[in-house]
Amino acid sequence: MAGVDFLGALGAGADIDSNSLVEALVQAERAPRESSINKKIEKSEAEISAYGILKAGLESLNIALSSLNDAKDFAEYSVALSGNETSTGSDAFSITASADASAGISSIAVTAIAAGDRWGSTNTYDDLTTELNGGSTFTVTYTDSSGTDTAVAIVDTTPQGVVDTLNEADLGITASIVDTGASLGRYKIVVSGDLGTDNGFSLATTAASGTTLAFGDRLGTAADAALTVNGVSVTRSSNSINDLIDGVTLNLSGITASTATLSVSQTTDPIKTRITDLVEVYNAVHTQLDSLSDPDSADELGGVLSSDGGFSNITRQLQQMFSSASSTATDNLSYLAEIGVEFDRYGKLEIDDDLLDSALTNYFSDVVSIFSADTDNQSTVGDANRGIAGDAIKKISDLLALDGTVESRMSNLETRISDYQQDLEDLDTRMARIQERYIAQFTAMETAIDRMNSTKEYLKTALENLPFTNKQ
């Protein structure tokens, strides 16, 4: 009987649209409760979005602080190199400097560069599939600089087979095919060793029949690099040398025409840039968080967290990160304000360039100490005095941890939304029961009215049919 409008049928007797009336009554009872729950859901969703902004802000602060967290982050040097030309004017060597470089001046003269033994096949070949030694297995004997022999059996007797077998033998040499481009004897086998005298080697073969193989063409001779650094003569088996000048790698490519001069000096420009970047990041985060707590903000999420105590506590902690004394203060410096970084009346950081430049020039080691605690690769586990950057990173790490304030608050809000959605489902169930009750009540009313109407019609008809005598 589904789909039959019983109330509409009964309404004919009472002249009442009972169906519409029931729907209106149910909706009147549902609307305020449903609206209240939906507002709570919208509020919680907005708060989750606001905490997402907070989380992103903390992560951006963490990145900016990480560039000032280690003592090595402050080891910035400018390098000047002069007189490193060869007799032809090209660079005899180049340098790279790391964070471990030390300020100072060094003299460098290169008299030889490292080289490796390089042997070519005496014969050349028209085709890479040419069979050597009549196709019979032969041996290539590798002799190192100490005179130790290693025999390598060549089963694939083609030039390509020789190359592949020598490379697979793991002897510290590299074999290759060189295409000379000649119309006859186009291909040549070349075998190269590592740089340095100690890596010298020779090759001998037993290929004696048919097309033979011999390595009698010396293309290069093993030699060590030779140079004089600060008056001391040294040799190395490599052209990349990183153990003569602290934090500096010399990359040799030629012989110097005269003594070169390398000057390494500390520069503070990159440090000032990182401090400036940190201030800019903090101010951007402050602007976002200030909007979230300001009920008068015109932003979409303006004022969403104005009454959130946990959020207010976090913003206070962020301000304290930059206003409190460093946990690793020195005799000369304790606060960021002392190097020209302090809050204005609007809660933003500003920089006094003259004061910052002075601190970086006159108290550089103290600046390093208050930021980094003169340590590298600090852990966020356990209690320790980590300096301004390290302590701030530790605080942010705690706030963003799974059990920290931010994640816990977002998790609680998500749980709350789930509860509200369950409330909506429960409301639907209650409204269905209320509708059923109203239907039952109106059905009873319609039935009673129909009976009364039937009785009325009966009595009316009966009265009209009574025999009356009209008397004058």
Q: What is the pLDDT of residue 19?
A: 77
Is residue 426 in a domain?
A: yes
Q: How far apart are CA 396 and CA 61, in angstroms?
A: 8
Q: How far is CA 72 from CA 8, 87, 196, in A?
A: 85, 38, 33
Domain end, chosen from 188, 220, 252, is at 220
232, 266, 300: which is the final residue of a domain?
A: 266
Most confident of 88-102, 359-373, 424-438: 359-373
Q: Percentages helix, strand, coil for the chain, rounded to the nearest 5?
A: 45, 20, 35
Q: How far is residue 196's CA from residue 199's CA, in Å, rounded to a whole number?
A: 5
* 4 vs 447: which has the higher pLDDT: 447
Confirm whether 462 is domain-assigned.
no
- Model pTM score: 0.65
Residues 348 and 300 in one domain: yes
Residue-wise pLDDT tens digits, 148-198: 999 999 999 999 999 999 999 999 999 999 999 999 999 999 999 999 999
How far apart (Å, rounded) are the C-alpha atoms in residues 137 and 143? 20
- Distance between CA atoms of 17 and 25, rounded to whole angstroms? 12
* Residue span of the structural domain in which 43 resides: 1-76+268-445
Reported as a single tens digit per residue, the pLDDT across 449-467 is: 778 878 877 787 877 777 7
Instruction: Kindly indicate the confidence band of residue 15, based on its pLDDT and cuts at 50, 70 and 90.
Output: low
Q: Do the beta carbons of residue 174 and residue 182 sit within 8 Å? A: no
Q: Does residue 466 sit within a domain? A: no
What is the total count of domains within the chain? 3
Residue 36 lies in a domain: yes
Assess whether 262 and 305 both reside in one domain.
Answer: no
Neighbouring residues of 1: CB distance < 8 A, sequence distance ≥ 6: none
For residues 110 and 248, state if they share a domain.
yes
Tokens of 112: 């030889």
**Shared-domain flag, residues 126 and 87:** no
Instruction: Name the residue with tokens 């169906």.
Output: 19
Quick: pLDDT tens for 109-141. 999 999 999 999 999 999 999 999 999 999 999
CATH value at residue 148: 2.60.40
Residues 244 and 358 in one domain: no
First to last CA, the chain: 60
Same domain as 437, residue 311: yes
Q: Do 431 and 322 have their domain in common?
A: yes
How are strands ordered across the β-sheet holding 201-205?
149-154, 138-144, 201-205
d(Cα 76, Cα 200) in Å, to the nearest integer? 40
CA-CA distance, 288 to 270, in Å (whole number)? 27
Could you tell me if 157 and 126 lie in one domain? yes
Considering the domain architecture, whether residues 310 and 249 belong to the same structural domain is answered as: no
CA distance 67 to 23: 65
Question: Three-class SS of residue 407?
Answer: helix
Instruction: Please check whether residue 126 lies inside any domain of the structure.
Output: yes
Token reading at 132: 């050597």
Quick one: 140 and 95 in the same domain?
Answer: no
